[in-house]
Structure 1
Amino acid sequence: AHIEEQDEGRPCLFCNKKCTGFALHDWRNTCRKCKCARDCHDVVIKSSVTLFDRLGMKLCGAPQATSQSERDRANRLGYSWIPFGLDTSKVNEYMHQLDNNKIPRLGTDGDKYRSTQLRQQLPRQDFSQLYCRQLNAPTTTAMQKQSFEEFVATRSATIDVASVKVNHNGTCHQCDGELQNGDLTVEATKYMGGLAWHVACFTCSTCEELLVDMCYCSKDGVLYCQRHYAELFRPRCAACDELIFSGEYTKAMDQDWHNGHFACFNCDLNLTGHRYVLRDEHPYCIECYERLYAHVCNECKHVIGTDSKDLSYKDAHWHEKCFKCCDCHLSLVEKPFATTNNKLYCADCHDNNFAAKCDQCGKAFKSGMKKYDYNDKQYHMECFCCNECKQPIADQSFVPRNQTIVCVPCYEKHHAQRCFKCKASISKGGVAYKDNTYHKECFVCEGCSKVLSGLKFVTKDELPFCAECFNEKFAKKCHECSKPISGTSGNTKYVTFEDRQWHSDCFKCSMCRTSLVGQGFVLDGDAILCGSCIK
């Protein structure tokens, strides 16, 4: 295998200016400077190295696909890789079926995606002992190196490169979708003859990533990238990213580790048999974790170690024993509390020190307590009472009186005006007449009992009567029309003579109907005559 990857000094894509350039850890697959993974850095794969060079073997399916001439042709078309054997129009048709961020156009995100997948799916340490630091260690046995060679032989029998062909109807092996006649499809002819995939469906069954440069492995009729195919046979160390060929290794955190590689992410102390703490999915020894990440207690200013509970509120932290009220010193664990001026208080002490006070009793309003506001003052519910009966007003109505409050029953009993007729208190409204007050419903006509509130009425002997009753009972009657002569009837001008009265409009000659108002007249029995009619 001939692999040329430039990583030393390459910038970290995550740390920005924090990392001055990649420097490989002695045995981890991380940077010594920033601790980010190697693949987090801008590792460059030399463009002249072909897939054939990287794999270090001839592929049965499409050996020409790895040739340098094919790479040169791809570059001329603007890509870092193209499927073998397609003319320019078919190459463009193939690329059109991929997600835009996975199309390997030179200098684009798709080109970076391909480069990343080459390193991920075809890691250099899986193909050459030159890059297996564990196999080059002084303690490596001949049996371990033999196991590596046996693995390489097993993989060589299954790894291959698929080809792109024009389909003649069928079904995609991945999504079961229909393959139209004339569509470009991917075929893995060596191991899975007769099966075809949509271009975008040719992915690893484990990581579901597009199989880079269509390089695949298969087992039991299932597609894998080389990385996940290898892990079917050998465990992979979570620290150095190399396959484990020794008979003994460590299992921890649901992962596999070379012996000695399950270590503190900061100081590399072997954690086998030791306590550790996880942070950002990395294990740390107790000493490093407490030095790097443990919080300082807001009360005693000492580090909150892993043996203590770390209680936090907002950005502050406390030991469990230090989480107490600064006033009464009672523990606040699983109890209500409040903070003021960066100090902890239990609910009672906080209320006593900082809560508003009742203007009646002077005691604090505790959290959740009902409060009454009246005349810019505040009262407890039990303190907001009637000034006379001393009972809490609660949700009842009340009447302000002389800077105090009186409940409605007390006000009606002791202070409200009383109806002149029924003698009951008048709580609202009412009618005033001749220095007396009445309920509206009690101020009625003495004749017919009609309610007079809002109506015109007439008095007789200081008693109220409606217009109808007054006219009926007391008004003088017109000698002519027999209707009452009253201001309530709208006709108030009248003529009187002896014991007779007439409306002015009715005072006419009985014969010629000439008005006699202001004229001479003669009585003739019940008739009145003008001077002309007498002659």
Structure 2
Amino acid sequence: MASSATKELDDLMASLSEFKLKDTTQIEGEPACAKTQKPPKQPSTPAPGLNNQLDSMLGTLQCDMNKQGVNTTAKGHCTACNKPIVGQVVTALGRTWHPEHFTCKHCNEELGTKNFFERDGDPYCETDYHNIFSPRCAYCNGPILDKCVMALDKTWHPEHFFCTQCGQQFDEEGFHERDGKPYCQEDYFELFAPKCGGCNRPITENYISALNNQWHPGCFVCWDCRQPFNGGSFYDHEGQPYCEIHYHAKRGSLCAGCHKPISGRCITAMYRKFHPEHFVCSFCLKQLSKGTFKEQNDKPYCHGCFEKLYG
């Protein structure tokens, strides 16, 4: 009842204020027209009577409101409608408002006793303020209302800043960036680090560059015997590193007699290669210098020894 009467009083006072303004304009304006159209007219005509009637009505309403314990003294003008405020008043942002006029700048819903936020002197409800002005999460695009992670020139909810590959949040090792996306160290190296030519695992520290590839220092060894290279020198066979012995073994250029590499002249016999001085009779061990021999059980013999043994 009291609130309804208060609103009625607010409306009446606003109407009265407008009426008095119009009435005063008419009274003050009439003499200027009367100079050419009709004799001057005294301003003490029906207007005072009408004003008295309105004042009486207003006084009666104020008296009734006072009896109900409602203060009818104007409390300023509403920021939204610029009309006097007699009843309930909202004081916010250094200004006064009718309660129904204190609304969100964006959705126009009454703010009442709700939390509100200020932007450029205007009030906003909590939902609209965050949707319009709060930073957005780079992952979910939702507004960030509390803690915020700033990385890669973007903002993120803390729970949404994780490895692009495995989805795990980052530990004290931090993260690595690739094409604007964050990765944990393990996935970053697995996806983008060069791979070792020996074990095919990511290379993250020191490496050896050879044979158009990168190698962990411990993986750059002979492809057959797995021994490191003395002095760093190695032989290339089909893109893989070999020590001298196994390189010649792969190429078939080891002497069948001494099992050492042949770098100069050689003799080819029995599908094998020999240093000339190592191609000897298997019995008397004399050099088969002329290249003529007899073969028995995959061994070479001079003619004399072959006749003695197998003749």
The TM-score normalised by the length of structure 1 is 0.26
More helix by percentage: 2
The TM-score normalised by the length of structure 2 is 0.41
Higher relative CO (Cα under 8 Å, sequence separation at least 6) belongs to 2
